[in-house]
Each structure stands twice: as structure tokens, then as C-alpha cells.
Structure 1
Amino acid sequence: MVYDVAAVRAEFPALSEGAAHFDGPGGSQTPAVVADAVAGALRAAVANRGTVTKAEQRAEEIVAAARTAAADLVGGTAGGIVFGRSMTQLTYDFSRTLAKNWGPGDEIVVTRLDHDANVRPWVQAAAASGASLRWANFDPATGMLTPADVEAVLSPRTRLIAVTAASNLLGSRPDVPAIAAAARRLGALTYVDGVHLTPHDLVDFTALGADFFACSPYKFLGPHLGLLHASADVLEALRPDKLRPMPDTVPERFELGTLPYELLAGTTAAIDFLANLVPGTGNRRRRLVESMTTLAKHEAVLLDRLEAGLASIPAVTGYGDPDRRRTPTALFNVAGRTPAQMYRGLAERGVNAPAGTFYAWECAERLGLGTTGAVRAGIAPYTDESDVDRLLAGVAELGG
């Protein structure tokens, strides 16, 4: 199936400003239909969820639609979708809830490949509960975390493994199903940070074998909030702190306060947009399968073009192994230029490719990048060949 990137780009008003955007890993641009959905929810009468007034009913419909859309996106069930302020907030909430059942002798596993949002909440929850912390290291030469790396720090006392589905710094994709299977054999839970993977490939919660999968709609063309999916039986077993009048049903017991209806409407619109990236048939999940599969192929071609171009520039040092499983993300530095200088120099040339560690502190340190990090270029659904060529021209000029 052909991916019509020109037609996709036409749906993004922000692209009319002229910049080539490689900043998607930090937050994607938004199609007009998403902005319209947010505005439409704000313009219509809404109220706290209920069944009496039309405004109450509309709020209920928005929430139900967003849960169903999110479930279609991750291959889960609507009753397992929890919405929150961000992936970070949701992870903190769930780490505190899970830690109620931890104590001395229990072990929690985190990895040095992960964004700090899937590290620090578990580090702090383990310390507060008296549980021990175990670190899984990745190979800095390849940027890959293998199941063997994780299994090396597991024991019968492991209670939870927190692992990324794709590194937000390198794009590296661990074998989550194998890691989750190892956890399950020990009776441990697996919490997956899917923020960087979800915009680029089809997610199948059942195939992953994980217990929790968290992601951020603003990374896949939607508004700023977070969502988490878990099986209903896992959620039923957890008792989070909540206000006394709050519902005790799942998933509502995990959602503190009134949900942002306008952002949920935008999330549904973003998922529908992804489902319609290419012409398809069938229900939304089926269309997501077709669209995300086609998108992944399009982005892989652009990543090949980008990496070949970077490799041809003598001053460039790249990180990670291009032959391994990765999202369309390139991390690099340029001799004679600091990452910050490259960031500013590219911006002056109309190319948005930020630099830093991007909250993946443990990962950057293991790569030897310290606190200055490197330049990160992420390909998005609206990226085309001219964007890649502009980035390469800028890097070549600044590195020459």
C-alpha cells in the first residue's frame, strides 16, 4: 500500500511555518482534525459525567469514545484504559499503589536504557517500601538491551520489571515479550513505557505479554495527556489512594478528579487520524493495522536515507546499531560542535532537531554523553525526503 506523505502533510497547519520537524520524540505536530475536536468539545455544553442532562451525557460519550479508541490503538480493552495528566504522573501513581504490597526482601528491576519517567518512580517507590533495586544494563556499543541483560538481575524475589518498549534517546527496541515472559515465570509484573514506540509501530498488548503499557497521545499527534492500559483483573487487584466519593469501579478508581474532556476528544481524533493514514477497510483496529504497518515502512526508508547521509559526513559520530530493532530515531554528535551549537545552528536553517539527554539520564551516562547529550532527529508521519535532505545539508555545513 502506498503512503501519500504529501496528503498527510497537508493536514498539519504547523508545517506552513516552514520548519523541518525532527522534534517528534519530544512532542509531535497536530493535524487540524485534532485541534477541531478539542475546540468542538470546548464549544459544546459539557458537565460532570452523568445521564440526566445532555451536557452530562456528552461528557460520558467523550470518555467512552476515548477509551474505545485507545483500546483499539494498543490492542486492548476499553475497560483497561486509564487516563492521566501524563505518562510520568500515571507511572508515579501506579508505582505508589503497587509499592503498598512491597517490603524488605522484594526486588524491583529498572533498566539504564529507560527514560527517567520509567526509572525514578520505581527507584523512589522501592526506597519508600524497603524493597531492593536491581539495575539491568545495556550494551553501549549497540544501544541494545537484551532479555539476557534483564534476566541476569532477576531472582525469585523480583516483584516488578520496568522496561521501555523503545528508547526515547536511541530508538532501541528491547524484546519486551521475552522480558515479560521471564517476569511471568517468576510471578513478577512488567510495566512498559510505550511512549516512544506507539507513534511508529503497531502495538499489540496481548502479544507483548506485559501487565501495564503506558504512552502519551501528544507523541502520536494528539493533545497533552497520558494513558495506560492494563488487563481488568490486574487493575481490580489494586487499591489506589483516592477521594472517598470517587467511584470504586475500574478504571475510574485510578483517575483522580474530573477528566479533561476536550483532550480526550482530541485523543480519539488523533487515533482516528492514524487509522486513516492510508485507505483501509474494516473496523478501526483493522485500519490501524494497515496504516501503522505502512507508516513503519515509510519511516524505515527515510531512516535509511538519513543514516546513510550522516555516515557520509566525516565529522559525525552516531550512536546505536543501525542493524538492530529501532524506531526511526537517529542520535549523533558532530566533531568541533557541541550538541547545543548544533541545535541552534540547525534551527537557524529551519530544521528543528533538538539536543540533550531528553530525560534519559542513565542511558546518556552509559553512552558516555554526560549531561550534554547529543542531537536527536526523530522521523514522524509528516516527515518527507526534503526534510531529511535539509537536515543533512545543515549537518554537513555545520560539520564542515
Structure 2
Amino acid sequence: MVLDVTALRAHFPSLDHGLAFFDGPGGSQTPRPVAEAIVATMTGPLSNRGTISSSELNAERAVTEFRAAYADLLGVPAAGIVHGRSATQLTYDFSRHLAKTWRPGDEIIVSRLDHDSNVRPWIQAAERAGVTVRWIELDPSTADLDLDTFRPTDRTRLVAVTAASNILGTKPPLRRIADLAHEAGALVYVDGVHYAAHHLVDVAALGADFFVCSPYKFLGPHCGVLAASPALLATLSPDKLVPSSNAVPERFEFGTLPYEMLAGATAAVDFLAAVAPGSAESRRARLTSSFAAIHEYELVLRARLEEGLRGFGDALTIHSTAADRTPTTLLTIEGRDAREAQIHLAGLGVLAPAGSFYAYEPFTALKLVDPALRVGLAPYNTADEIDRLLAGLAALLEL
């Protein structure tokens, strides 16, 4: 199935402004149906969840449809879908839930490839519990994890690792890591925030016990989603208010849910399922077709981008070199601050941000001191936009 990019772009009002958005890893643009779903839910009628009035039923429907949509997207039962304000908030919450069972002498393992949201919450929880922290190191020569440094033991309680780096695009050998962790009796918590924007997720196939993602990275509103087996969630006892539900997954969701955000997040899944029109009856099957089309299209765009960047020779250093990676490229410019490049490109209507993007550990492992330029591709990007980016960089290097 070939992606119809022109038809896809017609659903994004922000693209009418002529900007070329290469900042998708920080948050994608939003299609009109997502915004319309948010507005329709907010303007109601809408009340707290219930089974009597139409306004209560609207709230209940927003929750049940959200769980069903993300069950289809992530490949878990609907009762294994937990809503959160963000992936960071969910990870902090679950670090506290899981750490209740940790004891001095236990250990956890985190990775040098991860966004800090899948590192610091675990380290801080380990410090409180008196638990040892070990690392899977990053090999700068491959921009991938060095599995020779991954040594889980029978004292390992948790391995936290990304499915794809938010700055390098690197997709580490997640299933191998998960299998080794499970052999040692450890749980595996996967940051899938960047991965889920480019690949259809199958939590079990990846080997994840917990998988967290953020709908605003793949065309939805700002919120977070955690997926796990309902049976595993039932073993965790979060701190909660006495009157609040103790059912799974409600026991992990504190306070009244933002029904309008749930509706928008559901609309994003439905939009993705319709990207590659087909006759498949199930939403999961339609998502499979859509993500296959998106992946093939993004590979073509990435090849065009990387070929153009290589044309600059030693003037640019491309740090995204892993064999298996998403269409996200980190680069530095010889003798220039990446923020200068960001400002220059923005003046041309090309948005490519500079920074370290909360990826403190990989940034440090790569011995990067100054900000780097991140170019992230999304399904609404075009070959012409890549040419605009390359032309902008060429003009900058001639200044």
C-alpha cells in the first residue's frame, strides 16, 4: 500500500501555513478530526462518568473507547490500558508502585540510550529503596547499546530501556534484552514514546511488561498511555484515595479523567487506521496496513535526507548511525552552534530544533557539549520539504 501524502496532508490545518515541520519527535502536528473530537466532547453534554444521563454516558463512552483504541494500537487487552498526563508522569508513578517491593541488595538496570524520563525516576526510586543501579552502556561507535555490559542477575528486579532513542533514532535489540531480563526474573519497562510514532506496537512481541507512549507524538493530544497485562497490573497496589475504584486499570488513574483528551487520543488512532484505506474489518488490521505504508514512506524520505546530508562532507557530523533506527537524525555542524542553524532554518520556514532533548545520558555518552540539530521525519513530511531543509543548510554553510 502506497501512502497518499497529498490526501494525508489535507487533514492538517497547520500545514497550510507553509512551514516544514521536522520537529515531530518533540510533538507532531494535529489532524482536524482529532481537534474536532476534542471540541465535540467538551461541548457535550458532558458530566462525570455514569450510566443515567446522556452527559454521563458520553463521559463513560470516552473512557471505554479510549481503552479499546489503545488496546488495538498496542496489542494488549483494554483492561491493560492506563491513562496518564504524560509518559514521564506515568513512569514516576510506576517507579513508586514497583519500588514498594524492592529491598536492599536488589538491583535495577537502566540504559545510557534512554530519554531521562526512563532513567531518573528509576534511579531516584532506587536511592529511596537502597537498591543498586546498574547500566547498559552506549557504544558511541555504533550509536547502539553495548550488550556486553548488560548482565542481569537473580537480584535484578527491573530493566528500563527504550524501544527507540528520541535523539538518535536507534532501535536497540529490545527482544533480546527482554528475554535476558526475563530469564533472570526481572520485569521490563519500555519507553516506547519515540518508537510508537513509527511502528505499530505489539507489547508482548517486544517482550515488554510495561510499555509507555505519548499520543501527541503520533498526531494526538498531549497525554500518556501505559500498556501492560491486566494480571500484572493487578499485582500492584498504588497509593490511592479510599473512595476511588480499586479496579484495574482505574486504580492507577488519579482524579477525574480528561474526557476530551481521551476522545482526541481515540480519534488519533482512528485517523491512523484510515491512512491506508482497505477492506479489513478490524481496526488492528487497518492499523497494520497503515503503519506498513508509513514505514515504507518514511524510509524513502530518510534515504533522501541522509544522501543530502552526506553531500556536505566533513562540514556535518551525523550521529545517527545505528543499523536499525527510526527516521530521526541527530547532527552537529563543524564550527557552528546548532542553535544558529535552528534560527537560520526557522527564518526559511523550516523547523528543526536544536538541543539535547532530555536525552541526558546518550548526549553525555557521545561527548556532546553544545546543542545538536535534530531532524525528525513524520508521515506528513515531503521530499520537497527535505530539499528546503538541505538548501537552508547549504546557505548557512556558505555564510
Give me the TM-score of the superposition, normalised by structure 2.
Answer: 0.98
Residues 138 and 149, structure 1, Cα contact 8 Å, conserved in 2: no
| Structure 1: runs of 5 or more not aligned | none
The match for 2:126 is: 126
Output aligned runs, 1:23-42, within 5 Å.
Answer: 23-42=23-42
Q: Does 1:355 align with 2:381?
A: no
The match for 2:96 is: 96
Q: Quote the offset at 1:64 in angstroms.
A: 0.3
Q: Quote the offset at 1:146 in angstroms.
A: 4.7
The match for 2:386 is: 388
The match for 1:50 is: 50
The match for 2:63 is: 63
The match for 2:142 is: 142
Residues 320 and 331, structure 2, Cα contact 8 Å, conserved in 1: no
CA separation in 2, counterparts of 1:74 and 1:145? 24
Amino acid aligned to 1:30: T
SS in 2 for 1:195: coil
Q: Does 1:4 align with 2:1?
A: no
CA separation in 2, counterparts of 1:52 and 1:273? 30
Amino acid aligned to 1:267: A
The match for 1:114 is: 114
- Structure 1 segments (4+ residues) deviating >4 Å: none
Amino acid aligned to 1:113: L
Q: Quote the offset at 1:49 in angstroms.
A: 0.8
SS in 2 for 1:213: strand
CA separation in 1, counterparts of 2:148 and 2:37? 45
Amino acid aligned to 1:234: L
2:200 to 199, 202, 213: 202
Q: Quote the offset at 1:138 in angstroms.
A: 1.3
CA separation in 2, counterparts of 1:183 and 1:230? 17
1:373 to 371, 374, 384: 371
SS in 2 for 1:198: helix
CA separation in 2, counterparts of 1:399 and 1:317? 13
The match for 1:345 is: 344
The match for 2:289 is: 290
Residues 339 and 371, structure 2, Cα contact 8 Å, conserved in 1: no
CA separation in 1, counterparts of 2:149 and 2:381? 34
1:166 to 164, 168, 189: 164
Q: Could you list the per-position Cα deviations for residues 14-55 of structure 1 after superposition, in whole angstroms to 9, with x for gaps in the alignment?
A: 011111000000000000000000000011111111111111
SS in 1 for 2:303: helix
The match for 1:186 is: 184
CA separation in 2, counterparts of 1:106 and 1:160? 9
| Structure 2: runs of 5 or more not aligned | none
Amino acid aligned to 1:251: P
Residues 137 and 149, structure 1, Cα contact 8 Å, conserved in 2: yes
Amino acid aligned to 2:125: A
Q: Does 1:231 align with 2:229?
A: yes
The match for 1:335 is: 334
Counting aligned pairs with the same residue, the percent is 55
Q: Quote the offset at 1:147 in angstroms.
A: 4.1
Give me the TM-score of the superposition, normalised by structure 1.
Answer: 0.98
CA root-mean-square deviation? 0.9
How many residues are aligned here? 396
